[in-house]
Structure 1
């Protein structure tokens, strides 16, 4: 999810951090067993977490005003010729992850009466028409990136790629989550959604209980295991809603260890970048999405509470508002992962390639809105207040840099979609729950 090396390669997801093949998965066996032993009392910390997801509680005028700002993004960045919405404001490119966010934003906006039923159905119909027309990578599944004006398969810099560059299982998982929510909330859309999915070879994205993407390398196509802690479980929960066998990926227990960060035991992925060529950040977004769309299960509730608690603990130690997630930034390297823990380092800020950019640490607006919707603590409210002034004519900017408080001015679909989902959660609870 970069206009350079990563800008649009799985906006909002970790699909592009694949690279762990099946043989490497077997190589993990002994390390995984050790992690399972350490995690045998996995759920015991639940009793001491002290944080419970807040129920629906009705929205305030401030919440509604925040949602209106977020909706501006979708008004300003929809492409009338296709009905798709740009992933980054003004750049005619998108991923399936972001179109899943687009659809969930539409459902959220309609659910809190920002848009009426007629506008909702018009926009959904246009979007489905585009998805019915897009060419498929290898004739099987949607490509990682499309031009939002032409529907052509493209590369990350939006150069046409007639043969495509691959598919992302996690991007597809987000789209599948959105389709299930749409079908549940608006059953009349079900036949059209299912007819669309009949074109897609969904079975190709799952194997031996895990998620697999595809990448073109010259004349060859490689199939790579996708997802790291949090994102992998999110994608698996979505895929399971459509009957895919993703049992191994649906729980973090076999890949989880605990590491102390700011005096809080936080979950980390035992798969390390130096061994498997993929970053492994622990951060906010996948847990917030699970909460807003399906509701947290016992495992994700525990992990979410620990990830949140570590961020509040860092604030208490340093005085620095801390809300970490993946985000675009308005300068090179254009996309970074702010993490609680990544690749052996607490509070690491890393690029897809694993380079560290701690000097560009930012407070994520979508994380601040998300954690405040989920837990509603004094600290989350302070973090959300810290985002004041980031409203613009085409939506919310991505956040603020920690070093000097200046705005991270880039404006994205995913940031604004998460704000809409957060406000819907405050109003009505999980999208799939009603």
Structure 2
């Protein structure tokens, strides 16, 4: 049975391994010592920064479907998923903060999203489908044809985090957020021993599979923790291995991909989200300082991911800001890995094939590193990417490492990522612990309307 949250401060335990990661009390602390005074960029946006944000919002404005209020994940392609919905909600919070929209438009847009969440059909009647049409709100496959194709616990975890952020910024909508989430059966998403599970549906048959990899599992686990569900195995970094690049130890997923069918790239995105949204703190920490971090393990892992990218520039003079991104042709989506399949600086498709010629200096990653690490290197990155946009369509995915050419695909993730970076600059860390009695608490406390769905024991 899923357990309730009692203590989160000691979830991670590291065994002796490598030079840096020798244990919580020595290796991680020693690693962090040089970073104790690290500080990001904070304060009201400049005129130039507001223009950057306005360009990103242009994408959202262009790709909003009036019939549903949903936003396309890719420019002019009418589908979304739960992670894309999270991206849109972050963009919406930023648009209100920067006064690109009125309070009335914010209310209308958010109400349409929450109405969709409360009425949308669920995969197998249990949890959100992997893909939905933004034109009519029904379940579709990746080709935008009607189909129940299963679910992703990682996408749901990302959405849970952002819904919690929306609650703190707009508490008047808490009831409607809780009602939507209470429809979902968490038994299908988190196993009894605390692992995250997705599923594929073929010809009506459900095929569950273990989902995630080191980094993204720890990040998305925060969404379940907010609902007092502890995915213990997903939130534990073991098993892990260590690779050393430029003298910096990088922790990567220790599961053998030949056995577990897990692609294990180390890339920036989950560590950047952890910083922007949680300041690499434990979920129960409401402090606002960005120079100390109560989850020292995740903070050290994020610093290592940043440092090796800066060191690649210093040692090899290769600008590096690596995330995952779409590309204009096959294979259409890749991970620009810092380390993957035993190889540093490899670009991988979902099937494990390498496509190093597609590596980008990611616009989104550059913006987010720039606000989280105030360094000469991130200033250089911003100089390199700040012209990568179409003023009428939004920010491009990035610049190819090999040639400097633009990757002119335009996505919600990149444009929302720019807005999230700038929202963090103006507001600080985005997630705050809720302290008020909420609709979900009333439901869990009532013996007449207790909702179940593997949530029975979580508040007891």
Q: TM-score range by the shorter chain?
A: 0.7 to 0.9
Answer yes or no: is the 8 Å Cα contact 1:395–1:411 preserved in 2: yes
Query: Which deviates more from structure 2 when the two are superposed, residues 334-343 or residues 265-274?
Result: 265-274
Secondary structure of 2:396's counterpart equals strand
- Structure 1 equivalent of residue 259 of structure 2: 275
- TM-score (norm: length of structure 1): 0.88
Aligned equivalents of 1:182 and 1:391: distance in 2? 28
- Where do 1:76-87 residues align within 5 Å? 76-87=62-73
Q: 1:210 aligns with which of 195, 207, 210?
A: 195
Partner of 1:178: 162
Residues 18-53 of structure 1 show CA distances to partners (whole Å, capped at 9, x for unaligned) of xxxxxxxxxxxxxxxx97342442423222446724
Kindly indicate whether the alpha-carbon contact (under 8 Å) linking 1:112 and 1:427 is maintained by their aligned counterparts in 2: no
* 1:240 match: 225
Report the aligned-residue RMSD. 1.8
Any runs of at least 4 consecutive aligned residues in structure 1 with deviations exceeding 6 A, and if so which? Answer: none
What residue in structure 1 maps to residue 358 of structure 2?
360
Shift of 1:203: 3.6
1:29-68 to structure 2, matched below 5 A, reads 36-38=15-17, 39-42=21-24, 43-44=28-29, 45-49=31-35, 52-54=38-40, 56-68=42-54
Query: Is contact 1:293-1:430 (8 Å) kept?
Result: yes
1:74 is aligned to 2:60: yes
Q: Normalised by the size of structure 2, how large is the TM-score?
A: 0.83
* Structure 1, 197-206 or 170-179: larger mean CA deviation: 197-206
Q: Distance in 2 between matches of 1:378 and 1:109?
A: 29
Structure with bigger gyration radius: 2
Structure 2: distance between partners of 1:296 and 1:108: 21
- Name whichever of 35-44 and 83-92 sits farther off: 35-44
In the alignment, structure 1 residue 137 sits paired with structure 2 residue 123: yes
Deviations 1:356-398 (A, max 9, x none): 0111111111000000010121111111111132111111010
Q: Given that residues 101 and 174 in structure 1 are in contact (C-alpha distance below 8 angstroms), is that contact kept between their aligned partners in structure 2?
A: no
Shift of residue 433, structure 1, vs aligned partner: 4.1
Partner of 2:215: 230
Residue aligning to 1:300 = 298
Taking a change above 3 Å as real, the CA distance of residues 391 and 126 of structure 1, as seen in their structure-2 partners, is: same
What's the counterpart of residue 17 of structure 1?
A: none
Q: Determine the structure 2 residue equivalent to 1:396.
A: 395
Question: What is the distance in 1 between the residues matched to 2:215 and 2:102?
Answer: 34
In 1, distance between residues paired with 2:239 and 2:49?
37
Q: Which residue of 1 aligns with 2:142?
A: 156
Structure 1 segments unaligned to the other structure (5+ residues): 1-33
CA distance in 2, matches of 1:61, 1:417: 19
Residue 269 of structure 2 corresponds to: 285
SS at match of 1:278: coil
Deviation at 1:217? 3.5
Higher helix proportion, which one? 1
SS at match of 1:323: coil
What SS does the aligned partner of 1:317 have?
Answer: helix
1:140–1:200 Cα contact (<8 Å) kept: yes
Deviates more, 1:241-250 or 1:53-62: 53-62
Q: Which residue of 2 aligns with 1:22?
A: none
Contact 1:79 / 1:149 at 8 angstroms: preserved in 2? yes
> Counterpart of 1:128?
114
User: Which one is further off, 37-46 or 102-111?
Assistant: 37-46
Aligned equivalents of 2:207 and 2:373: distance in 1?
41
Counterpart of 1:90 in structure 2 is: 76
CA contact (8 A) 2:42 2:371 kept: no
User: What secondary structure is seen at the aligned counterpart in 2 of 1:400?
Assistant: strand
1:373 and 1:422 in contact (8 A); partners too: yes
- Residue of structure 1 equivalent to 2:94: 108
What's the offset of the Cα at 1:112? 3.0
8 A Cα contact 2:268 2:305, kept in partner: yes
Matched residue of 2:431: which SS? Answer: helix
Question: 1:128-153 deviations in whole A, cap 9, x for unaligned?
Answer: 12222211001000100011101121
Q: Distance in 1 between matches of 2:48 and 2:239?
A: 40
- In structure 2, stretches of 5+ residues that fail to align are 1-12, 282-295, 434-460
Per the alignment, residue 325 of structure 1 pairs with 323
Corresponding pairs, count: 398
The alignment partner of 2:350 has SS state of coil
